[in-house]
Amino acid sequence: MGQSRLTIEDGVREVVRWARADRNPPVVVGIGGGSCAGKTSVSLALREGIADSGILEMDAYYHSRADVGEQVDVNFDEPGALDFTLLKRHLKFLRSGIGIHKPVYDFKKHVRSGTEWFAPCRVIILDGIFALHSSLEGWLDFGIFVDCDAVERLRRRLKRDRVERGRTWASVRHQFETTVQPMFLIHVEGTRTAANIVISNQKHLQL
Contact 204, 152 (CB under 8 A): yes
**Residue 207: pLDDT over 60:** no
69 vs 82, more confident: 82
Rounded Cα gap, residues 84 and 68, in angstroms? 21
Chain centroid to Cα 135, Å, comes to 14
Contact 143, 1 (CB under 8 A): yes
Per-residue pLDDT tens for 164-180?
A: 666 788 888 988 999 99
For residue 122, which of 59, 52, 191 has the smallest C-alpha distance?
A: 52
Per-residue pLDDT tens for 125-148?
A: 999 999 999 999 999 999 999 999
**Residue 120: pLDDT over 90:** yes
